[in-house]
Amino acid sequence: MTKVEIEVVVDVPYASYREDSRETMTVREDRFWAFTLAVTFGFSAGYVDANTKRRFATFGSLMTGNAVQLGTAAAGGDWHEAALCASTFVAFDVGLMVTSHIIHLATRDSSRESLVSPKPHGSRDGAGLDRRALPAAVRFWAAVLICVGLVSCDALQAVLTPISFDQRFAGAFAAFAMGVQNVCTLKGALHQNTSLLGGSMQQLAFVTYRWLIGTANSEELNEAAESGLWLTPRIPLQLAFADEVKAVMRAGFEHMQAEDGGAVYLRLSTRAVEQMPRDLAADSALHDAIVRGGYWHVPPHAATKVVIAFSGVVAPEAIAAQRSLGASAALLQVTSYDRLTNEWKERRGGSYVTELLGGIPRGARLVTVLDGHPSALSWLGGVHGHPVTPLGVTEFGQTGDVLELYERYEIDEAAILRACEQIC
């Protein structure tokens, strides 16, 4: 086996199509306009935040800051202050949904329907400027709404002051304006959010809006119910070998472009790992197993007493432990415990993990190990009712090299062997 170093490069063209002259923009023009818009909208968000924080004690754009203030106020029992912060969330989401509806009306009869989707297909996030992303009518009405929202702050403040009502609630209009701006910057030229938590609230608003107009599917609604504000569907993968990255990259791009697809999260590491001498291009079954969530390095047989199941870059320790135990131990690698567990919860007996673990003898036991929380893999024992000893990291704060930390958290080869010997 040899050590390899890989570099993943995604080549995205910078040229954009100019709507008015139907000419291709140069890279310099494209970057200049993208930079100009980024600076303009960034300054706008920063100015609104500073202004509203000083005048109304809330952030007009930075929803993360409002979330912190809301939690602090609620914890201290200050429900008036909590309601003040909550009003910014409501106004922000209203701005998101109103602008989404404007985009929907402007694009419903064209191929730009995906602009109101929580997962805009074909967008070139961060790669450059696409001036065709939003029709002129949408940009006009968005500008009007932003101006009206910001001007209304002063108007409402003037109305609330004489009647002794907390004038800080006027800051909600600024949040409304920033909600409009966020939709335009994400769905328009930059494909970026103006605020931080605003991106997650934006996804929530999109799904809510699509539910209101009857176009949201059940998967999106279930994701909303299970994940709260964090609505982007995603598939985390924790890989150990370079050829696995290559295998999941293609499948990942296909998944991101699918109608029911979403984000793909790869957890990689700088740790050097010995590579397996294999050719995935010639082994389609292994390639598919990697993408589906797991595969056997050493499959179980009738005399198997223990199964070592690992995920990620603890591969050298797991492989070494299995070799020390010999034929009595099987070795399973999990490339995506998220994909395995979600499919198992939905399909149970018909899931891939049920099939994957089906060959383990009834009397065998499992030892799971990863450089994360042990519960991420410990559920594997429940698929067919096998006892399991989960190894992983349950505390933080230590400093050292990889081997020292693996020994400290008992996920090194010696710890795996101890766990196997205790249950054999």
* Rg, C-alpha atoms of the chain: 26
Question: Among the ranges 194-198, 270-274, 283-287, which has the highest mean pLDDT value?
Answer: 283-287
Residues 394-408 have a mean pLDDT of 86
First to last CA, the chain: 30
Alpha helices in 108-189 (DSSP H): 136-160, 172-187
> Per-residue pLDDT tens for 377-386?
999 999 999 9
Please report where in the chains the tokens 């450089």 appear, as a residue: 371
pTM of this prediction exceeds 0.75: no
Percent of the chain with pLDDT over 70: 71
Percent of the chain with pLDDT over 90: 26
Query: What pLDDT sits at residue 118?
Result: 36
Residues 173-186 have a mean pLDDT of 78
The token pair that represents 336 in the structure block: 């995506």
Query: What pLDDT sits at residue 150?
Result: 79
Q: How many residues does the chain have?
A: 424
CA 123 to chain centroid, in Å, comes to 17
Tell me which of 118 and 108 has the higher pLDDT.
108
Q: How many CB atoms lie within 10 A of CB 202?
A: 28
Query: What pLDDT sits at residue 163?
Result: 65
Distance CA 213, CA 100 (A): 11
> Per-residue pLDDT tens for 232-262?
445 677 888 888 988 888 888 888 888 878 8
415-420: Cβ within 8 A, 24+ apart: 415/369, 415/391, 416/308, 416/317, 416/318, 416/321, 416/367, 416/369, 416/391, 417/321, 417/324, 417/325, 419/367, 419/389, 419/391, 420/306, 420/308, 420/321, 420/325, 420/329, 420/367
Q: Which of 116-125, 343-352, 389-398 has the lowest mean pLDDT?
A: 116-125
Alpha helices in 218-275 (DSSP H): 218-227, 242-257
**Contact between 71 and 64 (Cβ < 8 Å):** no
Query: What pLDDT sits at residue 24?
Result: 42
Distance CA 176, CA 89 (A): 9
Tell me: pLDDT of 417 over 90.
yes
The band of 367, judged by pLDDT with boundaries at 50, 70 and 90, is very high
| CATH T-level fold of 276-423 | Rossmann fold (3.40.50)
The band of 418, judged by pLDDT with boundaries at 50, 70 and 90, is very high
Residues 180-207 have a mean pLDDT of 62
Tell me: pLDDT of 348 over 50.
yes
Question: Among the ranges 56-70, 125-139, 343-357, which has the highest mean pLDDT value?
Answer: 343-357
Give which of 380, 283, 274, 292 is closest to 335, Cα–Cα: 292
- Side chain identity, residue 309: A
Residues 355-378 have a mean pLDDT of 93
| DSSP of 47-73 | HHHHHHHHHHSS-SS-HHHHHHHHHHH
Query: What pLDDT sits at residue 188?
Result: 65
Q: How far is CA 234 from CA 256, 291, 377, in A?
A: 9, 14, 18
Identify the three-state secondary structure at position 78.
coil
Q: What element of type H or E holds 288?
A: helix 284-292
Q: How far is CA 334 from CA 58, 283, 340, 353, 416, in A?
A: 45, 18, 9, 10, 16
**Contact between 96 and 201 (Cβ < 8 Å):** yes
Listed in order, the ranges of the chain carrying CATH 3.40.50.920 are 276-423
Beta bridge partners of 310: 333, 369
Q: How many CB atoms lie within 10 A of CB 380?
A: 26
